[in-house]
Amino acid sequence: MQLNLTPRLEAFQQEVRTFLSKELEPEMVAAVRSTTTVWVEREAMLSWQRKLSTRGWAVPHWPEQFGGTNWTPMQHYIFEVECARANAPELTAMGVKMVGPVIIRFGTDWQRGKYLSRIASGEDFWCQGFSEPGSGSDLASLSCRAERKGDEYIINGSKIWTTDAHNANLIFVLVRTSIEDKPQKGISFILVDLDTPGVSVTPIISASGDHEVNQVFFEDARVPVSQLVGEEGVGWTYAKYLLGFERGGSIKAERLKQELQRVNRLLLSKVRGHKDEFSIKQIERDLARLEILVESLSYTEMRVVAQLEAGGAEPGPEASVLKVEHTEIMQQITELAMMALGPYGAILERDRPKSGGKFSGYTGDITKDLLPIVPRYLNFRAATIYGGSNEVQRNIIAKTALHLS
């Protein structure tokens, strides 16, 4: 879509590009290219966050008074696209895109003062405690309890699939504070320090061998009531607000284009061997088809941005559409990359040096592309499960866009 940038926006775009070319370091780009999971390796991400924070761009979508900007939707879009093009690390969403906006909107002044600046600077690292062993898509059935005793909540239960809990120092949890009413009504939103006695984190190793997710246990963990966000029993509302950010809050097509370029590089280096013409042609055709699909997503994103820019309402079904589209396209890309690997598709290297793996016959840059493909294929199966499974998203689309019930 031709953005028809005004001179002011063009200057802004230039400003972002200049910043990226000056501040983004090769190690950070390498971390993005070599990551096997959704987020990039913590140190690379944090050093990029510090650079953004210094520039005042770590939390651009927050209100200015809390360290954000007053950018228009179009400026946010330009910023995201330029960062993706440059392969800058994406900031882990749990702090800046999830709990941050909830604290800003529903938190107390004390909570804002205590947490917001530390989220923006990266000093605090948050994780999200929503899913439980017995509550996945049916999140409202969650049973992790918080019982109020005087000025404290006593939490018992566990949270699962907690991304980055092993790197985090704080967790925001949905807990049940009442069983009197319908399930959604007894849920509260509480901020918990992971150092609290009674809280423990156990790793869950993924099929890929990566340690990305965890289970977090609460045994009589005592948390001051000042850590409650908003009102007791209204946590479900805050969670829905937050999930809107998780699903629709970011621009993905440009990142997917980078992934497609990886497949193109693999294809050009004929990893499947030089004589398998049939496969090479087929993969090239599939790649072209995916390029078109990504282009359509890119235009859908721009249409949503243009609608926001024109003062339209916050995205409703669009957020679900974008979530389904980008995760399903991502899976198709990882699948095609596997095909491009040919005989190397069976290799899962457990020890993955940043310099690339031991793909005999291949050296140099291409091994950096080869290495993450198998673990990425495995890990990105989760993309259509997390953030509200794509089945749940389709329910939402049917309900909100087509008014089916």
Provide the annotated active-site residues: 246
5 touches other proteins (CB under 8 A): no
Decide if residue 332 touches other proteins (CB under 8 A).
Answer: no
Buried-exposed string 46-64: b where 16+ CB fall within 10 A, e elsewhere: bbbbebbbeeebbbbbbee
| Site mask for other proteins (CB under 8 A), range 364-403, x = bound | ---------------------------x-xxx-xx--xxx
- Does position 317 bind other proteins by CB under 8 A? yes
Indicate which single residue of 196, 206, 300, 332 sits in contact with other proteins (rule: CB under 8 A): 300
What is the residue-wise DSSP string for 391-402? HHHHHHHHHHTT
Among 179, 207, 268, 348, binds other proteins (CB under 8 A): 268
User: By C-alpha distance, which of 226, 225, 162 is closest to 194?
Assistant: 162
Helical (H) or strand (E) element with 254? helix 253-268
Minimum distance between the CB of residue 402 and other proteins, rounded to whole angstroms?
5
In the bound complex, what is the minimum distance in angstroms from residue 280's beta carbon to other proteins? Answer: 7
User: Of 222, 240, 285, 358, which lies in the binding site for other proteins, with binding defined by CB under 8 A?
Assistant: 285
- Distance of alpha carbon 397 from its chain centroid, rounded? 21
Q: Does 405 bind other proteins (CB under 8 A)?
A: yes
For the chain, state the CA radius of gyration. Answer: 22
Choice from 289, 314, 343, 354 touching other proteins (CB under 8 A):
289
| Burial label, 291 (beta-carbon count in 10 A; 0-12, 13-18, 19+) | middle
φ and ψ at residue 97, rounded to 5 degrees: -105, -15
Rounded Cα–Cα distance for residues 267 and 273 (Å)? 10
Per DSSP, which regions of 198-256 are E strands?
199-205, 211-224, 228-229
Binder to other proteins among 8, 55, 222, 303 (CB under 8 A)? 303
Of 182 and 403, CB closest to other proteins: 403
Residue 341 makes contact with other proteins by CB under 8 A: no
- Give, as one character, the DSSP assignment of residue 390: H
Of 174-182, 242-250, 288-296, 375-383, the window that binds other proteins (rule: CB under 8 A) is 288-296
> Which residues contact other proteins (rule: CB under 8 A)?
1-2, 261, 264, 267-268, 280, 284-285, 288-289, 291-293, 295-300, 302-303, 317, 321, 324-325, 391, 393-395, 397-398, 401-405
